[in-house]
């Protein structure tokens, strides 16, 4: 899995005091990478905007609005399911945060009021943020409309008599009855 299948790099030092709106759209190669990464049948488009605003000298708020049209396979019927996913989220980046060393243990504070992302080497990867959020919104077990959970089963049909005869307690009771005789 390539986690860098969709990137849009923004130089953090290029942002002045005024907000900046950036239009982002995945090209064919990036769509193919996202399709493979998220195990989709197809991804028709993935586009959006990021509005960046400097909060302080070191913090930048990024408000994202994005949309993707994906096709998945129903887990029950294998029928194709087309879905339009709308994303609306915010990330706050801080250049004073150092990215965690992959070999060190990382301690996470659950009570932290705001989650900050690091600005690595002076850049923010807006595409990666959009791709991460898309991955969180994709249904991991999609079901076609009208497909009931009880509609399809796995394996052969089993009757009540077979369940009762294969019940381990019934077998134990039968053994006990034989030993009592």
Query: Pick from 127, 136, 135, 133: which is nearest to 26 by CA?
Result: 127
Task: Dump the DSSP string for 30-56.
Answer: HHHHHHHHTT-SEEEEEEEEEEEEE-S
Spatial contact of 143 and 76, defined as CB atoms under 8 Å apart = yes
- Give the mean pLDDT of 133-143: 94
| Mean pLDDT score, 35-46 | 96
Asked whether the predicted pLDDT for residue 50 surpasses 60, the reply is yes
Q: Is the pLDDT of residue 177 over 90?
A: no
Q: How many residues does the chain have?
A: 181
Residue 60 — pLDDT band, cuts 50, 70, 90?
Answer: very high
The pLDDT score that the predictor gives to residue 1 is: 39
pLDDT tens column, 79-122: 999 999 999 999 999 988 776 665 566 565 555 546 788 888 99
Whole-angstrom Cα Rg for the chain: 26
Residue 96: its pLDDT value, please?
84
């Amino acid at each position: 899995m390539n986690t860098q299948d969709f990137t849009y790099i923004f130089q953090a030092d290029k942002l002045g005091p005024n907000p900046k709106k950036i239009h982002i759209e995945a090209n064919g190669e990036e769509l193919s990478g996202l399709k493979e990464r998220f195990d989709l049948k197809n991804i028709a488009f993935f586009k959006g905007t990021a509005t960046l605003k400097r909060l302080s000298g070191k913090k930048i708020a990024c408000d994202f609005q994005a949309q993707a049209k994906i096709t998945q396979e129903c887990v029950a019927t294998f029928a194709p399911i087309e879905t339009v996913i709308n994303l609306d989220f915010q990330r706050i980046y801080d250049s004073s945060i150092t990215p965690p060393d992959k070999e060190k243990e990382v301690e996470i504070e659950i009570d932290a009021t705001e989650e900050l992302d690091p600005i690595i080497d002076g850049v923010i990867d807006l595409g990666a943020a959009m791709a991460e959020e898309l991955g969180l919104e994709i249904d991991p077990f999609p079901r076609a409309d009208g497909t009931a959970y009880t509609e399809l089963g796995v394996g052969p049909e089993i009757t009540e008599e077979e369940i009762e005869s294969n019940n381990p307690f019934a077998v134990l009771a039968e053994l006990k009855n034989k030993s009592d005789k």
